[in-house]
Amino acid sequence: MAILPIRIYGDPVLRKKAAPIGEITDEIRKFVDDMAVTMFDAPGIGLAAPQVGKSVRLFIVDPHLGESESDTQEFVAFINPVLREKSDDRVLIEEGCLSLPDIRADVERPRTLTVDFTDLHGERHTAEVGGMLARVIQHENDHLDGILFVDRINPVRRRLLGKQLKQLSRSQKKNRVAA
């Protein structure tokens, strides 16, 4: 397993709509294992495939949301997820993102939702989720549609973050050219 480089704001892959995964192959399973190592190393509680350069409809989530006392690093893979039945009850909570280091802002999202997804064994699941898990699933699913959490914040707050976002984008471009 390998730690994958996390793509930073300004990288075009973060703005692409990801393609569905057809077949769950050994290559996909290895990629998911690499994503997990990357997420826990970062450390993060969720990671979408586009954040590590692969534009496919896949993300992983730490079901313990970083709060497990166990040495076991567990994750759930969501392949070709579909979010539905989002609650009208919404909550405003501060978010951050591994692809936008050092940037945090309040984002309003539905408190609960239902998610359909395929697991690594090819089995289809439906889960009703709420709280922080619902938030993380929505955040990661946004990555699959080329949406970043800063796209969902108050326009005034986004304008205030403009300088930081430009600096991230410039540093990302410089690093990509140098690589």
The residues annotated as belonging to the active site are: 140
Report the C-alpha gap between 62 and 77 in whole angstroms.
9
Q: Are 41 and 77 in contact (CB under 8 A)?
A: no
Type of residue at 23: E
Q: Nearest 5 degrees, angle CA 128-CA 133-CA 136? A: 120
**Tokens coding 158:** 């986004």
Instruction: Kindly report the backbone phi and psi dihedral angles of residue 24, in degrees, each rounded to the nearest multiple of 5, phi listed first.
Output: -90, 100
- Cis peptide bond N-terminal to 20, omega within 30: no
